[in-house]
Amino acid sequence: MVAPAAAPAIALLLIPFLLFPAPMAAVLIPTDYLALQSIRKALSDLPGSTYFASWDFTADPCSFPGVLCRDDRVVALALGDPRAGSPGLSGHLPPTLGHLSALAELSLVPGSVSGPIPTSISLCSTLRFLALSRNLLSGPIPPSLSSLAHLRVIDVGFNLLSGTIPPLLPRLPSLSTLILAGNRLSGPIPSFAQNSPLVRLDLQHNRLSGQMPVSLPTSLRYLSLSSNQLSGPVDRILPSLRRLAFLDLSSNSFSGPIPGSIFALPLSSLRLQRNYFSGDLRLPGPVRIPYIDLSFNRLGGRIPAALSAAEWLYLDYNRFIGEVPTGFVDRILKGEMRVLYLQHNFLTGMAIGPPSKIPIITSLCLQFNCMVPPVQTACPARAGQQKTRPAEQCPKWRKV
Can you spell out the DSSP letters for 191-246? Answer: P--TT----EEE--SSEEEES--S---TT-SEEE--SSEEEE--TTTGGG-TT-SE
CA distance 107 to 181: 17
Residue 267: what pLDDT? 97
Residue 360's Cβ-count burial label (10 Å; 0-12, 13-18, 19+) is exposed
User: pTM value?
Assistant: 0.90
Helix then strand then coil, in percent of the chain rounded to 5, is: 20, 25, 55
pLDDT computed for residue 353 by the predictor: 75
**pLDDT value at residue 9:** 44
pLDDT given at position 349: 93
pLDDT tens track, the chain, 400 positions: 444 444 444 345 545 544 455 444 458 999 999 999 999 999 999 999 999 999 999 999 999 999 999 999 999 999 999 888 889 999 999 999 999 999 999 999 999 999 999 999 999 999 999 999 999 999 999 999 999 999 999 999 999 999 999 999 999 999 999 999 999 999 999 999 878 999 999 999 999 999 999 889 999 999 999 999 999 999 999 999 999 999 999 999 999 999 999 999 999 999 999 999 999 999 988 899 999 999 999 999 999 999 999 999 999 999 999 999 999 999 999 999 999 999 999 999 999 877 678 899 999 999 999 999 988 888 998 888 899 999 999 976 544 4
Strand bridging mode 43-45 / 319-324: unpaired
Q: Shortest CA distance to 350 belongs to which of 366, 334, 336, 333?
A: 366
Give me the pLDDT at residue 376, please.
85
Structure letter (DSSP) for residue 325: P
Bridge partners, residue 350, by sequence: 324
pLDDT value of residue 355? 67
pLDDT at residue 154, rounded to an integer: 98
What's residue 7's pLDDT?
43
